[in-house]
């Protein structure tokens, strides 16, 4: 039955990247907890991710909302010359849920924030062996319906409105800090690489793709970014450099 104590477990990378890819928005952390409170008193709330891969504001909002963050570093594995990234966050989440079931029998409801079908067996185990109520909170379009069926059809839909347009000036500040702090993926930056990084969800740059492109164009026009013709690995390139002594760069770095 719904009521009593509630445990909330958040597969954060699944939720955040699903929202960004489908809706172009970010998760509203406080709204996630508001959904959970509908089911009872929150006794446990834990989110799982490699939080070094997410903007700092995510962790601050988690703290404010009362969500414990379990930082699970990504592992990089190279096979046949190809580097792959693996996450063990799901395993840690499953183990913590099992431990909670065994150690805290007073918790009747489990709110699982994920759309990943890998949790089907866990959800069935919670319901059938321990008689727990399980609610799946996932992003529409990225939630396994078999997972929802395993939970007896109990589902919450996590949606966001598309983000409000961000000013080009705000985006420039964030891109400056990204380029200043980031290690160029190939040992150097180009305008194209900066654009790709700005549109990578992991880097948390606000705005639409068009706004980011406009911001990079403004940075080139204003001399915040300088391009130089160079030869790298036998190829002619226009390498982009952040003009560190530019007043705008100094101002943006000072805000970080």
Q: What is the pLDDT of residues 124-172, one digit of tens each?
A: 999 999 999 999 999 998 999 999 999 999 999 987 654 544 678 888 9
SS3 call for 243: coil
SS3 call for 115: coil
pLDDT at 175: 92
pLDDT at 176: 93
End-to-end Cα spacing for the chain: 47
pLDDT at 189: 92
Banded pLDDT at 114 (limits 50, 70, 90) = very high
Alpha helices in the chain (DSSP H): 12-23, 29-37, 56-65, 89-103, 120-130, 145-150, 168-181, 191-198, 209-221, 247-255
SS3 call for 159: coil
Using an 8 Å Cβ cutoff, are 86 and 74 in contact? yes
Banded pLDDT at 1 (limits 50, 70, 90) = very low
Domain residue spans of the chain = 5-157, 168-255
Mean pLDDT of the chain: 88
Cα 104 from Cα 128, distance rounded (Å): 17
Exposed e or buried b for every residue in 122-137, given b needs 16+ CB within 10 A?
bbbbbbeeeebbbbbb
Banded pLDDT at 13 (limits 50, 70, 90) = very high
The larger pLDDT score, comparing residue 150 to residue 187, is at 150
Average pLDDT of the residues in 179-202? 86
Lowest mean pLDDT among 24-33, 35-44, 63-72, 190-199: 24-33
SS3 call for 86: strand
DSSP at 188: S
Residue 205 has pLDDT above 70, yes or no: yes
Residue 19 has pLDDT above 50, yes or no: yes
Over residues 64-99, the pLDDT tens digits come to 899 999 999 887 666 655 656 677 899 999 999 999
SS3 call for 234: coil
Percentage of the chain surpassing pLDDT 90?
A: 55
Q: Which fold has domain 168-255?
A: Arc Repressor Mutant, subunit A (1.10.10)
CA torsion, points 113, 115, 118, 123, in degrees to nearest 10?
50
**Of 173, 168, 183, 175, which Cα lies nearest the Cα of 199?**
175
The larger pLDDT score, comparing residue 159 to residue 240, is at 240
Banded pLDDT at 6 (limits 50, 70, 90) = very high
Pick the CATH number of 5-157 from 3.10.20.30, 3.40.50.1370, 3.40.50.970, 3.40.50.1010: 3.40.50.1010
Phi, psi dihedral angles at 134 (to 5 degrees)? -120, 130
């Amino acid at each position: 039955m719904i009521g009593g104590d509630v445990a909330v477990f958040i597969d954060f990378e699944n939720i955040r990247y699903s929202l960004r890819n489908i809706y172009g928005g970010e998760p509203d952390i406080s709204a996630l907890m508001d959904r959970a409170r509908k089911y009872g008193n929150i006794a446990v709330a834990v989110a799982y991710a490699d939080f070094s891969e997410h903007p700092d504001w995510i962790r601050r909002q988690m703290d404010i909302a009362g969500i414990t963050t379990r930082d699970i570093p990504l592992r990089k594995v190279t096979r046949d010359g190809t580097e792959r990234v693996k996450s063990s966050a799901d395993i840690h989440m499953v183990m913590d849920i099992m431990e909670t079931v065994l150690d805290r029998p007073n918790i009747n409801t489990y709110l699982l924030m994920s759309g990943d079908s890998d949790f089907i067996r866990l959800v069935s185990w919670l319901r059938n062996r321990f008689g727990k109520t399980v609610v799946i909170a996932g992003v529409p379009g990225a939630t396994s319906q078999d997972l929802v069926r395993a939970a007896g059809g109990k589902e919450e839909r996590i949606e966001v409105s598309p983000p409000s347009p961000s000013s080009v000036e705000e985006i420039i500040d964030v891109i400056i800090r990204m380029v200043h702090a980031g290690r160029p993926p190939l040992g150097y930056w180009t305008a194209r690489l900066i654009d790709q990084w700005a549109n990578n969800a992991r880097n948390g740059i606000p705005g639409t793709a068009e706004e980011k492109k406009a911001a990079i164009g403004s940075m080139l026009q204003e001399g915040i970014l300088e391009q130089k013709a160079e030869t790298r690995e036998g190829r002619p390139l226009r390498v982009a450099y952040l003009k560190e002594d530019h007043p705008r760069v100094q101002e943006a770095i000072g805000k970080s």
